[in-house]
Amino acid sequence: MMHYRVARFHSFLTLLFLLTASFILFAQTVPTDDESIKSGEQLFKTNCYTCHRVKQKWTGPALAGYETRVPSIAWTIEWVKNSAKLIASGDEYANKIFKEYNNSQMTAFTNLKDDQILDILAYIETEAKRQDNPPPPPGENVAGGGAGVPSAYLNLIIIGMFVILLLLLVILVLIVNALKKFLNQRDLSEEDKDVVDSPYTAGSIMRSPGFIFVVVFVVSAVAFKTVIDGLYSIGVQQGYAPKQPIAFSHKIHAGVNEVDCKYCHTGVLKGKQANIPSANICMNCHTYIQQGTITGTGEIAKIYAAVGYDPATGQYSGKQKPIEWIRIHNLPDLAYFNHAQHVNVGNIECQTCHGPIQEMDVVKQYSLLTMGWCIDCHRKTNVNTKDNAYYDKLEQLHKAAKGQKAAMKVEDIGGLECAKCHY
């Protein structure tokens, strides 16, 4: 009897809970304020953009007008949090679109809060109404990096000028000889003969100590410069682009398919390392993007081998072997570089340091990565003080000392101190 009552009480509580829960869900409306739309845009870009566009069909459906198709807003929230669960529950619409998209699994976003999802929906609805503006040409916001005029060009220019000078010299000597012959055939006064047959012939000049000195000087100067340049570039790996174990292309992923760098390089906002994605991240998409239509070289099979996945059965064998990516950028151990400091705090684009990665089929080291390169940027770049209370005081102090207009550069916050970059 007692147990029965407790059980009844429990089911009553559950019912009450479900009722309030569904009430809360039904009461949810998509916000329209700018704040929500802005936060929604950010969330959409980081979570959904890999598979969805608002007005274009992508891996998933174009989301514009979703509200006219889905059963309810509450349904949408549930779907985003865990679409697989909704499909498994037998929900009619969920199963319909799942089939329509060849049983592609949408990622589950259990970590997103309800109001975050509502913000995303707010962004989708606003974006759907917006008139299309042509997108800016790619590469516009990509700042240049690297080192001014590459010294290789300077050397080429110098060598070129040297060759031209030599040619001129040879031509002049030829002209002089021809003129001499011509003049000697004529009757000339003694005085003129002296001038024409002056002892300075091409041969005598070349044998003169002065000429030899000049030649030796030029040759040793060039040799010296080459050696010094070589010394400065010891360890410099600019342009290094090794062949990777899987022909992974940033152009296909970050370029054509516009996958956010942070989707794969998950460390950039949080820590020192950007991280190379594990094969599990590849599987988020390549479970269903099986045969590449681009090359069809079986590269995807290498991902399956790495995670022990059999595409025929959809089963994991449990046998894994990591993909051995070859590291491209590598500072010596004595130097400390932190991605979060630059990307998150400093607000610097990846491309400023890594170049147009989204256009590269094979990644190459774009910048010098020397100490001079770091220091040069710290001298030139303003600290990003926006929305950063920590810098407000520093900036006030800086302006008080150097005048109201003085921009605070990284060097002003200690960016040239040896200990900041060296352990």
Smallest separation (angstroms) from ligand HEC to the CB of 32: 17
Q: Nearest-CA neighbor of 337 among 366, 363, 371?
A: 371
* Distance, CA of 102 to CA of 104 (rounded, Å): 5
Smallest separation (angstroms) from ligand HEC to the CB of 314: 15
Smallest separation (angstroms) from ligand HEC to the CB of 205: 46
> In this chain, which residue has its C-beta nearest to ligand HEC?
292
Question: Measured from the CB atom, is 99 or 193 closer to ligand HEC?
Answer: 99
Smallest separation (angstroms) from ligand HEC to the CB of 13: 32
C-beta of residue 316 within 8 angstroms of C-beta of residue 309: yes
Question: Measured from the CB atom, is 79 or 309 closer to ligand HEC?
Answer: 79
In 233-341, alpha helices (H): 250, 261-264, 279-286, 299-307, 339-340
Question: Measured from the CB atom, is 155 or 344 closer to ligand HEC?
Answer: 344
Smallest separation (angstroms) from ligand HEC to the CB of 387: 12
Smallest separation (angstroms) from ligand HEC to the CB of 313: 20
Name beta bridge partners: 309.
316
DSSP at 343 = I
Question: Taking CA 284 as the corner, what is the angle to CA 309 and CA 357, rounded to the nearest 5 degrees?
Answer: 115
* Distance, CA of 283 to CA of 306 (rounded, Å): 10
The DSSP code sequence of 29-48 is: ----SHHHHHHHHHHHHHHT
**Kind and range of the H or E element at 316?**
strand 315-316
Distance of CA 106 to the CA centre of its chain: 26
Question: Measured from the CB atom, is 52 or 398 closer to ligand HEC?
Answer: 52
Smallest separation (angstroms) from ligand HEC to the CB of 147: 11
- Provide the 10 A C-beta neighbour count for residue 233: 13
Question: Measured from the CB atom, is 2 or 419 closer to ligand HEC?
Answer: 419
Smallest separation (angstroms) from ligand HEC to the CB of 90: 15
Question: Measured from the CB atom, is 30 or 350 closer to ligand HEC?
Answer: 350
C-beta of residue 265 within 8 angstroms of C-beta of residue 274: yes
Question: Measured from the CB atom, is 202 or 300 closer to ligand HEC?
Answer: 300
C-beta of residue 47 within 8 angstroms of C-beta of residue 266: no
Question: Measured from the CB atom, is 201 or 341 closer to ligand HEC?
Answer: 341
Which residues are CB-contacts of 210 (< 8 A; sequence separation ≥ 6)?
Answer: none
* Distance, CA of 423 to CA of 420 (rounded, Å): 8
C-beta of residue 62 within 8 angstroms of C-beta of residue 54: yes
